[in-house]
Amino acid sequence: MFDKVYDSPDAALEGVVKDDMIVAVGGFGLCGIPELLIVALRDSGVKNLTAVSNNAGVDDWGLGLLLQTRQIRKMLSSYVGENAEFERQFVSGELELEFCPQGTLAERMRAGGAGIPGFYTKTGAGTLVAEGKPTMDFEGESYILERGIRADLSLVKAYAADRSGNLIFRKTARNFNPLVATCGKVCVAEVEKIVDTGDLDPDQIHTPGIFVDRIVQTDSEKRIEQRTVTERS
Q: Is residue 127 part of a domain?
A: no
Give the CA distances from residue 86 to residues 30, 31, 106, 137, in Å, rounded to whole numbers and listed in that order: 15, 19, 22, 36
Total number of domains constituting the chain: 1
Give the residue-averaged pLDDT of 169-184: 97
Nearest to 57 by CA among 49, 48, 67: 67
- SS3 of residue 119 by DSSP: strand
Tell me what the pLDDT averaged over the chain comes to: 95
Backbone angles phi, psi at 227, to 5 degrees: -100, 125
CATH number reported for the structural domain that contains residue 212 in this entry: 3.40.1080.10
Q: Is residue 103 part of a domain?
A: yes
Q: Is residue 165 part of a domain?
A: yes
pLDDT at 220 over 90: no
What pLDDT does 226 receive? Answer: 77
For 128-161, the pLDDT digits (tens) are: 999 999 999 999 999 999 999 999 999 999 999 9
Residues 17, 23, 24, 26: what is their CA dihedral angle, to the nearest 10 degrees?
60
Q: Is residue 25 part of a domain?
A: yes
What domain range includes position 206?
5-118+150-217
Nearest to 46 by CA among 155, 150, 149: 155
For 29-86, the pLDDT digits (tens) are: 899 999 999 999 999 999 999 999 999 889 889 999 999 999 999 999 998 877 889 8
Q: Is residue 104 part of a domain?
A: yes
Q: Is residue 224 part of a domain?
A: no
pLDDT at 93 over 70: yes
What pLDDT does 75 receive? Answer: 96
Give the residue-averaged pLDDT of 6-21: 98
